Amino acid sequence: MVSKAVIVLLIGLLGMVYQGTQLPPPNSNDSVGGDENCDVVSSRIKLGDGRYLAYREMGVAKDKAKHSIIVVHGFGSSKDMNFPASQELIDELGVYILHYDRAGYGQSDPNPKRTLKSEALDIEELADQLQIGSKFYVIGVSMGSHATWSCLNYIPNRLAGVAMIAPTINYEWPSLPKSLVRDDYRRKLIKIAMWLARYSPRLLHWWVTQTWLPSNSVIEKNPAFFNKRDIEILERIPGFPMLTKEKLRDQDVFDTLRGDWMIAFGKWEFDPMKLSNPFPDKNRSPVHIWQGYEDKVVPSQIQKFISEKLPWTQYHEVIDGGHLIVHYSGLGEAILKALLLGEEDISYKPRSSYLHLDL
């Protein structure tokens, strides 16, 4: 039987991954808004395989846009997240932003044949049906970045640029040196979660809804999961609504989260660290990775190692940032300026070396 301490840490890890997907409303100071409202019928498209995909549009009108961006939400989130940039900058740059519910989330139908490739093809078909142009940008948040990596592999010809915000890492990527990740407790927790999700989903479902487990409010204030700045953020944003025991008792919610977890951390169909530069004709590749140096979900040292193995990516680091950097005031503007204009904010220049691994 898996120990109580391990399950507590596992739920904490799930909570951290979820929290990194929630974005603050425009003009906020490290705050969040944009609650889901499932009573409202969303706009949807019908995909070629018969599934429906729900979406939400914001920013300037797409027929007047200079740039079109598709935002990929993360674990436990939805299309109802907000992008953390001011409306003034969005209007100034002429940005059309398209949010959508990934398969099984919100008001999108589940995909029984879901794969990494299907995630990318859903994005491509969404772009085509809404006629946002032959080229578009994709921004992946936290665990949603597995779909962003998939776009780089399967539909690079459709991409104008990519940004990944605190992207989670699959420790099973073949090119990750075992010596780099062998003793990382996060890797061990993920392996336990994968084993339970694959071989004993009923036990996992029962376990995560037990009353003796700590509440989200306890997990949110635990420095083992969050750095100081993250904890300050958590004082002002909703907790983990998708991960409450009440929500997890819903079989559909549990199945969606379980399936998402297994795609993100299971065996991938390709190795991201073997990808070729999708923009060989550009002097400065518009592929960006944004990472908090003090992130306790995804070690910045490993993230930087991956970026250095892909020299066509641009690595940005928030020195005092944890996993919740997506909430930090000003980051959304920096992301848009880097992605769309090629401007680099020196505040996010990474440290010269990652020194040692805090695993």
Is residue 356 in a domain? no
Question: CATH no. for residue 69?
Answer: 3.40.50.1820
Q: Which of 341, 321, 346, 330 is nearest to 84 (CA)?
A: 330
Q: Would you place residue 221 in the very low, low, confident or very high pLDDT band (cuts 50, 70, 90)? A: low
Please state the pTM of the whole predicted model: 0.86
Give the burial class of 311: count Cβ atoms within 10 A of its Cβ; 0-12 exposed, 13-18 middle, 19 or more buried. Answer: exposed
Mean pLDDT calculated for residue range 127-135 = 97
The angle at the Cα of 321, spanning 320 to 323, to the nearest 5 degrees, equals: 155
Is residue 15 in a domain? yes
Residue 93 and residue 89: Cα distance in Å, rounded? 6
Question: Exposure pattern of 116-145 as b/e (b: 16+ CB <10 Å)?
Answer: bebbbbbbbbbbeebebeeebbbbbbbbbb
DSSP H/E element including 195 = helix 185-199
Residue 124, phi-psi category: left (phi > 0), alpha (psi -120 to 50), beta (remainder): alpha
Is residue 358 in a domain? no
Is residue 71 over pLDDT 70?
yes
Is residue 359 in a domain? no
pLDDT tens for 184-219 read: 888 988 888 888 888 888 887 777 776 655 544 445
Q: How many domains does the chain have?
A: 1
Q: Which of 318, 300, 251, 303 is nearest to 104 (CA)?
A: 251
Is residue 357 in a domain? no
9 versus 207: the higher-pLDDT residue is 207
Residue 238 and residue 141: Cα distance in Å, rounded? 18
| Overall residue count recorded for the chain in this entry | 359
Is residue 201 in a domain? yes
Q: Side by side, which strands form the sheet with 159-165?
A: 43-46, 52-59, 95-100, 67-72, 136-141, 159-165, 287-292, 314-318
| Mean pLDDT (the chain, rounded) | 83
Is residue 290 in a domain? yes
pLDDT tens for 285-310 read: 899 999 999 998 899 999 999 999 99
User: Strand pairing of 136-141 and 314-318?
Assistant: unpaired
Is residue 355 in a domain? no
What is the span of the domain harbouring residue 54?
Answer: 4-348
